[in-house]
């Protein structure tokens, strides 16, 4: 077939380095940008096949998120804007590593019974890395080699590209598949929400944003005029001087538990950090003693779910709110959500695709990883009930207000994936409506002291886990040892799991004091060998 001849011809321009093995994991493909050209071309081919297979537009985002500037990577986006289906992740790994490209390609076509005369459409986006332009061109080459149509969105955040894919495949029902459409939808909803905030002072409208010297900074600038001064953003680490993700960004702040470099913090003021592709966000402030306070994904999930639960009650809607977390969620947050807020809490395996999947079972579900990656999902039935109520002329003012707030909440959220910009607007709206300061938000519950450690082992795959990674089933006896160590401490919890993105094992421990959490993490890490 002519298509395969073209693939063969083009693939010579994108040779695979000998001996290199890549793995399409939780974070897609990710490694040093020098080794990725062939993989990008091949993922262009795969996205085209996936598009033919689903008869829908597929997305390809070129980014390595919070990794250093020297790295790059890619994530594939399925028709509803969600991460690509797990069965195809396996094809991605096979294709990236194939020595005989055409054989693997034909194999996938046969297995999935793909009609090669079906039209294919692929949306491509990239982050600000210096390697991204060249690598996204390799993706576009892959798409055209198989006769697919592509649309190059250029520089966009990861969640913006997810949004475009969903808009395109739902024929505008979700919004317009343009950047302008994205900003208009989110910002109009934000402005409507903040109209419900009484006595909002100019000071409360101020927010400092650390753009991680990446794409998020560029896009915040682009969005500013749509906000009509209802949110006044002071942007730092905007890429004009510093290096991408270097001593800044959400991952740095969360892992180091300290402010990013690039600015001076004023006590009591609100700050947030995006990561390198703007799909994660964390908030923080310093108190009058100069002590740093982090509000991570767990605090964000608590704020959002509380707000939604209260509104649903006011609206008289019988819809269940759930929160989906991972094993890394601070025990205090889980305790507060279950016992004080009385919301359903579920624990999913690490990696947003698992959280997203678990969240789809509920009417309204807030999902967040502690590191700040998360969003809110509304079931179709829940959206319908909310919209019907908002339009019902026979309801009282309180119900009407709650229904309209819920409707605007749906519009401010990017339901396809965690989105720093959308999450930020929703958080800012909640704080404004509740008249809540960042300190008051922080005081809702106190985090249990905790420690995370990385342990290098000979074979991390020897550790197998169950119960959403909270218990190890192999190697034999390891869990019993962890249990006996945990029993020595108060309010303690600990677990061990192999990382899906690094060649290490992660140990997590929490306890009533920092000393105990540190000691427990240390003792458990010794038991991992």
Binding site for ligand NG1 (CB under 6 A): 26-27, 328, 350-351, 369, 371, 373, 499-502, 506
Q: How far is the CB of 325 from ligand NG1 (least distance, A)?
A: 11
Q: Flag whether 65 is marked binding.
A: yes
Q: According to the annotation, is 237 in a ligand binding site? A: no
Q: Which is nearer to ligand NG1, 174 or 328 (CB)?
A: 328
* Of 185 and 506, CB closest to ligand NG1: 506
Q: Structure tokens of 22?
A: 């890549």
278 prior amide bond cis, ω within 30: no
Minimum CB distance to ligand NG1, residue 410 (Å): 25
Residue 499, annotated as binding a ligand = yes
Binding stretches for Zn ion (CB under 5 A)? 65, 275, 277, 279
Interaction partner, residue 502 (Zn ion, ligand NG1, none; CB < 5-8 Å by kind): ligand NG1
Closest CB to Zn ion among residues 79, 276: 276
In the list ligand NG1, Zn ion, none, the entry touching 277 (Cβ below 5 to 8 angstroms by class) is Zn ion
In the beta sheet, which residues pair with residue 510? 450, 493
Q: How far is the CB of 469 from ligand NG1 (least distance, A)?
A: 9
Q: Which is nearer to ligand NG1, 170 or 452 (CB)?
A: 452
Instruction: Tell me how far, at minimum, the Cβ of 470 lies from ligand NG1, in Å.
Output: 13
- The conformation of residue 407, written as its DSSP 8-state character, comes to H
Shortest spacing between CB 79 and ligand NG1, in angstroms: 22
What are the backbone dihedrals phi and psi of residue 443, each rounded to the nearest 5 degrees, phi first? -80, 0
SS (H, E, C) 183-247: HHHHHHHHHHHHCCCCCCCCHHHEEEEECCCCHHHHHHHHHHHHHCCCCEEEEECCCCCCCCCCC
CA-based R_g, the chain, Å: 23
Residue 27 binds which entry of ligand NG1, Zn ion, none, with Cβ cut-offs from 5 to 8 Å by kind?
Answer: ligand NG1
Residue 131: enclosing H or E segment and its boundaries? none
Q: Do residues 163 and 153 touch, judged by C-beta distance below 8 A?
A: no
Residue 494 among known ligand-binding residues: no
Q: Which has the closest alpha carbon to 425: 252, 274, 203, 268? A: 274
- Residue 275: contacted member of Zn ion, ligand NG1, none (CB under 5 to 8 Å, by partner type): Zn ion
Q: How far is the CB of 305 from ligand NG1 (least distance, A)?
A: 19
Q: How far is the CB of 373 from Zn ion (least distance, A)?
A: 7
- The residues, any chain, with a CB within 8 Å of residue 58's CB and separated by 6 or more, are 47, 48, 50, 51, 76, 77, 78, 79, 84, 120, 121, 122, 123, 165
DSSP state of 381: H
Give the CB-side neighbour count of residue 110, counting CA atoms within 13 A. 6
- For ligand NG1, which is the closer residue by CB, 127 or 428? 127
Are 321 and 334 in contact, with CB atoms under 8 Å apart?
no
Residue 500 annotated as binding? yes
State yes or no: 275 annotated in a binding site. yes
- Choose the contact partner of 279 out of ligand NG1, Zn ion, none; CB within 5 to 8 A by kind: Zn ion
Kindly state the tokens that stand for 278: 């703007």
Residue 26 binds which of Zn ion, ligand NG1, none (CB < 5-8 A, kind-dependent): ligand NG1
User: Of 69 and 277, which has the nearer Cβ to Zn ion?
Assistant: 277
Give me the residues paired with residue 498 across strands: 505
Q: Which is nearer to ligand NG1, 369 or 523 (CB)?
A: 369
**506 labelled binding-site residue:** yes
For 453-489, b where at least 16 C-beta lie within 10 A, e where not — what string?
bebebeebeebebeebbbbbeeeeebbebbeebbeeb
Annotated binding-site residue? 277: yes
Active site residues: 65
Helix axes 158-169, 420-434, angle to 10 degrees: 90
Q: Is 501 annotated as a binding residue?
A: yes
Distance between CA atoms of residues 484 and 455, nearest Å: 20
Q: Return the one option of Zn ion, ligand NG1, none that residue 159 interacts with (CB less than 5 to 8 A, by type).
A: none
Would you list which residues are annotated within the binding site for substrate? 369-371, 497-501, 506
Would you list which residues are annotated within the binding site? 65, 275, 277, 279, 369-371, 497-501, 506
Would you list which residues are annotated within the binding site for Mg(2+)? 65, 275, 277, 279
């Amino acid at each position: 077939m002519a298509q395969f001849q073209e693939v063969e011809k083009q693939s010579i321009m994108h040779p695979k380095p000998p001996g290199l093995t890549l793995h399409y994991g939780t974070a897609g493909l990710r490694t040093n940008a020098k080794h990725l050209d062939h993989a990008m071309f091949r993922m262009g081919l795969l996205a085209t096949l996936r598009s033919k297979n689903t008869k829908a537009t597929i997305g390809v985002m070129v980014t390595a998120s919070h990794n250093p500037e020297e790295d790059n990577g890619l994530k594939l986006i399925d028709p509803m804007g969600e991460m690509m289906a797990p069965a195809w992740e396996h094809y991605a790994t096979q294709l990236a590593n194939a020595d005989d490209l055409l054989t693997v390609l034909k194999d996938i076509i046969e297995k999935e019974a793909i009609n090669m005369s079906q039209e294919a459409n692929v949306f491509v986006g990239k982050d600000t890395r210096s390697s991204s332009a060249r690598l996204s061109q390799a993706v576009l080459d892959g798409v055209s080699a198989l006769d697919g149509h592509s649309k190059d969105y250029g520089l966009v955040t990861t969640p913006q590209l997810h949004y475009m894919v969903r808009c395109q495949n739902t024929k505008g029902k979700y919004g317009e598949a343009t950047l302008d459409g994205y900003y208009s939808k989110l910002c109009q909803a934000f402005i409507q929400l903040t109209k419900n905030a009484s006595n909002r002072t100019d000071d409360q409208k101020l927010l400092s944003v650390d753009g991680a010297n990446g794409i998020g900074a560029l896009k915040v600038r682009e969005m500013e005029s749509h906000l009509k001064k209802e949110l006044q953003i002071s942007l730092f680490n905007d890429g004009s001087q510093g290096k991408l993700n270097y001593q800044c960004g959400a991952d740095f702040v969360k892992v180091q538990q300290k402010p990013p470099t690039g600015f001076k913090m004023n006590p009591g003021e609100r700050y947030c950090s995006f990561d390198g592709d703007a799909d994660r966000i964390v908030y923080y402030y310093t108190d009058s003693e100069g002590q740093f306070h982090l509000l991570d994904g767990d605090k964000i999930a608590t704020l959002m779910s509380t707000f939604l639960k209260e509104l649903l009650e006011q609206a008289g809607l019988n819809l269940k709110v759930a929160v989906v977390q991972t094993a890394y969620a601070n025990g205090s947050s889980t305790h507060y959500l279950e016992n004080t807020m009385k919301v359903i809490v579920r624990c999913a395996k690490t990696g947003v695709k698992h959280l997203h999947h678990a969240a789809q079972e509920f009417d309204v579900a807030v999902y967040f990883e502690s590191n700040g990656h998360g969003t809110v999902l509304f079931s179709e039935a829940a959206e319908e009930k909310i919209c019907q109520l908002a339009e019902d002329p026979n309801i009282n003012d309180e119900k009407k207000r709650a229904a309209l707030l819920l409707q605007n909440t749906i519009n401010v959220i990017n339901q396809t994936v965690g989105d720093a910009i959308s999450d930020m607007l929703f958080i800012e709206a909640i704080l404004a409506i509740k008249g809540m300061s960042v300190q008051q938000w922080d005081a809702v519950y106190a985090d249990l002291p905790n420690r995370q450690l990385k342990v290098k082992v000979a074979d991390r795959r020897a550790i197998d886990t169950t119960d959403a990674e909270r218990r190890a089933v192999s190697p034999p006896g390891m869990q019993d040892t962890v249990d006996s160590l945990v029993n020595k401490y108060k309010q303690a919890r600990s677990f061990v799991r192999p990382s899906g993105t690094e060649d290490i094992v992660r140990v997590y421990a929490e306890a009533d004091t920092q000393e105990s959490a540190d000691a427990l993490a240390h003792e458990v890490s010794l038991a991992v060998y």
